[in-house]
């Protein structure tokens, strides 16, 4: 390990964040609390993180003049989402520590690379086939169907995915994706879904937050329940698998690993090389939250204590809440937040995004307590009160 990687970066150093969404915004807040300054590079002039950052580079991720100036002023750089080009991370790493590395992000940002990584390292994964042409679909094993066809790049929150029953439907979906490289994944019978958020430092030490149980609606995370309502053995196994992934990636930073539980067995679904939506409960329920861990890992500080001091249920607030159906069409209006403030054990976090649209993550709330059944009951009551439909 070279001298650069072992040097502790202390306040008031300036840290760089690639991406200016809500994850970047929480990073800025955590870094400021620890005494750092933060520069954000994001092409969106309205990016939430830019509002609180010390400086905003409103530039594309391949704008090398901006990247040069950005690197010159930062002591270390990280990213808030996996779709920052890995080549950008590699370029910046020539001048300044970048964590996680471009090579780790490159695996996580491409489903073909991700599934191949799991297979090659003997890590639990579902059956899949790489699809680059309609012929690949014709050659896929019949046991893969029914399946889910997913684009290899830039798919998230259910986007770029299609459930297919047979080859014909898969070929039709592949054409709809305009021939983009895909993975065809066998659709598993799910018991439930869980996730592990962890942080790994430059010395290989791993700290796992309590495992969460996740429920999705239309492919978007809806509710996270912490701790997951599962066995201690399965929780420990999930933590071991997540830590092994981080080790094999030589990962430094905060990351999320999503698991399916199928027939009582863990199946790794996805890796996120960043803080994760299902880890937002850590902001209110844990001694150290996932964004402070991201700062600590980036700067070579000792990782914080990840222990939860409360049971927690987190609920996402999507842009759909800003729209209501009226005679004559859809009407835009601000939700009545007083319905949430009426719950004393509820913590509301709004992301400050410029405008709402259906399916867009605009905020979340977390209900805290000591008894899971009462916390879950309160969270679902608050969810109904603000107007989220379905159970």
Query: DSSP readout, 215-251?
Result: EEETTEEEEEEES-SS-HHHHHHHHHHHHHHHHHHT-
Ramachandran bin of 179, using left for φ above 0, alpha for ψ from -120 to 50, beta for the remaining angles: left
For the chain, report the end-to-end CA distance as a whole number of angstroms: 50
CB 312 within 8 A of CB 226: yes
Q: What's the whole-number mean pLDDT along residues 215-223?
A: 93
pLDDT at 326 exceeding the cut of 60: yes
pTM: 0.94
Domains in the chain, CATH or no CATH each: 3-98 (3.40.50.20), 127-186 (3.30.1490.20), 192-386 (3.30.470.20)
**Quick one: 359 exposed, middle or buried, by C-beta within 10 A (0-12, 13-18, 19+)?**
middle
- The pLDDT tens digits for 338-362 are 999 999 999 999 999 989 999 999 9
Q: Write down the mean pLDDT value for the chain.
A: 95
User: Does the pLDDT value for residue 381 go beyond 90?
Assistant: yes
Q: What is the pLDDT of residues 133-190, one digit of tens each?
A: 999 999 999 999 999 999 999 766 557 899 999 999 999 999 999 989 999 999 999 9
Max CA-CA distance within the chain?
66
């Amino acid at each position: 390990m070279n001298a650069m990687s072992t040097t502790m970066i202390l306040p008031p150093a300036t840290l760089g964040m690639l991406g200016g969404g809500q994850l970047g915004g929480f990073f800025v807040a955590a870094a400021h609390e620890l005494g750092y300054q933060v520069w954000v590079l994001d092409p969106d002039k309205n990016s939430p993180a830019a509002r609180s950052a010390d400086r905003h580079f409103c530039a594309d991720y391949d704008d090398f003049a901006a990247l040069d100036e950005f690197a010159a002023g930062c002591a270390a750089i990280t990213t808030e989402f996996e779709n920052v080009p890995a080549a950008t991370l590699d370029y910046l790493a020539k001048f300044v520590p970048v964590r996680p590395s471009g090579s780790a992000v490159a695996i996580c940002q491409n489903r073909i690379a991700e599934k191949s990584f799991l297979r090659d390292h003997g890590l639990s994964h579902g059956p899949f086939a790489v699809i680059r042409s309609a012929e690949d679909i014709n050659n896929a094993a019949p046991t893969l169907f029914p399946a889910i066809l997913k684009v290899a790049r830039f798919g998230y929150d259910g986007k770029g995915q299609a459930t297919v029953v047979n080859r014909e439907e898969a070929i039709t979906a592949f054409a709809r994706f305009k021939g983009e490289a895909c993975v065809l994944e066998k659709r598993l019978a799910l018991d439930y879904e869980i996730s592990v958020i962890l942080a790994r430092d430059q010395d290989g030490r791993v700290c796992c937050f309590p495992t969460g149980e996740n429920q999705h609606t239309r492919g978007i995370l809806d509710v996270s329940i912490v701790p997951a309502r599962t066995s201690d053995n399965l929780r420990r196994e999930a933590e071991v698998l997540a830590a092994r992934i981080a080790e094999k990636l030589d990962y430094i930073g905060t990351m999320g690993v999503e698991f399916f539980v199928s027939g009582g067995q863990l199946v790794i679904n996805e890796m996120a090389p960043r803080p994760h939506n299902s880890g937002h409960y850590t902001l209110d329920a844990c001694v150290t939250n996932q964004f402070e861990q991201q700062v600590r890992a980036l700067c070579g500080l000792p990782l914080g204590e990840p222990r939860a001091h409360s049971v927690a249920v987190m609920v996402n607030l999507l842009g759909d809440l800003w729209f209501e159906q009226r005679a004559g069409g859809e009407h835009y209006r601000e939700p009545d937040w007083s319905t949430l403030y009426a719950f004393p054990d509820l913590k509301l976090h709004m992301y400050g995004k410029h405008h709402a649209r259906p399916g867009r993550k605009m905020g979340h709330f977390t209900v805290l307590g000591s008894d899971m059944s009462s916390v879950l009951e309160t969270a679902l009551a608050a969810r109904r009160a603000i107007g989220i439909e379905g159970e």
